[in-house]
């Protein structure tokens, strides 16, 4: 793998939900296809409508998926950090990209070319079956998450988004208290499926309660455990 060892790639892939059920030999075959790529903050990795030929696993840094409108507005669909995979449908077909992906800070990923990957699974049918099972599990979890959100209040959805971002930050070494998450109010609102005004009002409530502190493009969650009281 260009820029990193196969062992590093195997270790990274082992923690990715789509690949976690695969045996060591399978992970090693995939790792040998991977190529390291680097992006600066604000770089576009690919755009909505681009040809889909590579999937990516985040090695370090953060990225977000957005949908762009003709009037210049954009909607944040998801955030990604170390160990997350995006563009994974490229390993199965060459459909157009469904969203634009951009880096939020210094980002390093490993790219797995779709055509190479498809040749690999053609030669190893059992690998294809295990991947289908893993992808089905991921889709089911996404559907369950959307169902839960449909019954939650705005406050509960925003608190859940913050709790998820805290969990991601802790995977990268953040402590128990005063957890920094690099995210804007607009991103939180979009991730929670609410208006910016509603999300902003609730964030102000959390700030007055001492649960969070807000800054430009970032939030410090002073007391992550307190968020549980708002999730129902």
Neighbour order of strands in the sheet with 218-221: 179-181, 218-221, 212-215
Work out the percent of the chain whose per-residue pLDDT is above 90: 28
- Residue 210 pLDDT: 93
- Averaged over 165-174, what is the pLDDT? 88
CA–CA separation, 45 vs 110, rounded Å? 12
More confident residue, 2 or 139: 139
Range in 44-58, 69-83, 171-185, 207-221 the model is least confident about: 69-83
pLDDT tens for residues 74-132?
A: 788 888 888 888 988 777 777 788 889 999 889 999 999 988 888 888 887 777 777 77
Asked whether the beta carbons of 85 and 131 are under 8 A apart, the reply is no
Task: Categorize the per-residue pLDDT at 163 as very low, low, confident or very high, splitting at 50, 70 and 90.
Answer: very high
């Amino acid at each position: 793998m260009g820029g990193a060892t196969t062992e590093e790639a195997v270790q990274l892939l082992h923690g990715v939900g789509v690949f976690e059920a695969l045996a060591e030999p399978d992970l090693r075959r995939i790792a040998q296809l991977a190529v390291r790529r680097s992006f600066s903050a604000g770089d576009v990795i690919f755009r909505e409508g681009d040809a889909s030929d590579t999937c990516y696993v985040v090695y370090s840094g953060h990225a977000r998926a957005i949908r762009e409108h003709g009037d210049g507005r954009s909607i944040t669909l998801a955030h990604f950090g170390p160990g997350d995979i995006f563009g994974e449908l490229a390993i199965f077909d060459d459909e157009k990209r469904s969203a634009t992906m951009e880096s939020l800070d210094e980002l390093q990923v490993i790219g797995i070319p779709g055509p190479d990957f498809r040749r690999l699974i053609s030669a190893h049918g059992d690998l294809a079956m295990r991947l289908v099972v893993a992808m089905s599990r991921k889709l089911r979890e996404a559907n369950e998450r959307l169902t839960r959100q449909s019954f939650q209040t705005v406050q509960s959805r925003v608190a859940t988004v913050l709790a998820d971002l805290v969990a991601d930050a802790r995977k990268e070494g953040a402590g128990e208290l005063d957890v920094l998450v690099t995210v804007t109010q607009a991103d939180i609102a979009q991730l929670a499926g609410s208006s910016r005004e509603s999300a902003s009002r609730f964030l102000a409530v959390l700030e007055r309660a001492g649960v969070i502190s807000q800054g430009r493009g970032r939030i410090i969650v002073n007391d992550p455990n307190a968020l549980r009281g708002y999730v129902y």
